[in-house]
Structure 1
Amino acid sequence: MRIGALSERTGIPRRMLRYYEETGMLVPDRCGNGYRDYDERCVERALQIRGLLEAGMPTRVIKQVLPCLKQPKAIHVEGATRETIELLERERDSMSDRIDTLTRSRDAIARYIDTVRETREAA
């Protein structure tokens, strides 16, 4: 499939798909005319990449993890080095810190909304 079809199926903009390709995270075949040709596996791979990016994982880490994700939603550990595990542990801990911060921010906003509503209702 062409990049437009992949973009439509995944909801990922073409520009972002090209970025995934530039970084080596997504590797399409090339047609004789030079056009990108994405197979069905690229759909799930692009969605995996987007999910990891949305979770806050940096591209450099995603590039290391992708070889371990050979099948959709399944993790294969062959090739996972000690350095990769340590890197992932740091990323996991960093994500947990961000989640804690977001939770505190969300709770503060909720308290603010409640206070504003209570003040308006009392007036």
Structure 2
Amino acid sequence: MRIGEVAAGAGVSVRVLRYYEEQGLLSAQRSPSGQRHYGETAVDRVKLIQQLYAAGLSSKAVAQLLPCVDTKTSTPEVRGRLRHERERIDRQIQELLAARAELDKVIHTAENPGSGYTYVA
């Protein structure tokens, strides 16, 4: 696949793909004219990278984890890192749920004046 096809399939820009290559997260073969050609799994890999970034992992962390994905193996250190990241995400989820609950109260008060909800900072 050419770079534009991968970008379109993964919903990212060509610039993002070049960045992933620079970071060692994605690789491409080069044609004699210098064009990038990606394997059939490139779109799925880019989507995985995007999910890991969305989960808050740094490019360094993603680079450390991808070889485990590629080989379907892991070390105790990697598993520990993954557990740590999952715990961090769980904390973020709880914080977001609490913020949503407060927002719901504010919305309820705005829609029902005099309902008695008072914001306390």
TM class, shorter-chain normalised?
0.7 to 0.9
**Is the counterpart of residue 5 in structure 1 residue 5 in structure 2?**
yes
> Cα offset for 1:11?
0.6
* TM-score normalized by the length of structure 1: 0.83
Structure 1 stretches of at least 4 aligned residues deviating more than 6 Å after TM superposition: none
Superposition map of 1:1-123 within 5 A? 1-70=1-70, 76=72, 78=73, 80-119=74-113
> Residue type of the partner of 2:58?
P
Matches of 2:59 and 2:100, distance apart in 1? 27
Q: Which residue of 1 aligns with 2:119?
A: none
Per-residue CA deviations over 1:82-122 (Å, capped at 9, x if unaligned) read 221222222111111111111111221122111111129xx
Matches of 1:109 and 1:13, distance apart in 2? 34
> Residue type of the partner of 2:96?
L
Matches of 1:102 and 1:59, distance apart in 2? 24
Matches of 2:105 and 2:16, distance apart in 1? 37
> Residue type of the partner of 1:89?
R
* TM-score normalized by the length of structure 2: 0.84
Identity level (%) = 34
> Residue type of the partner of 1:31?
S
Q: Which has the larger radius of gyration?
A: 2
> Residue type of the partner of 1:98?
Q
What's the secondary structure of 2:8's corresponding residue? helix
> Cα offset for 1:44?
0.7
> Cα offset for 1:45?
0.5
Query: How many residues are matched?
Result: 114
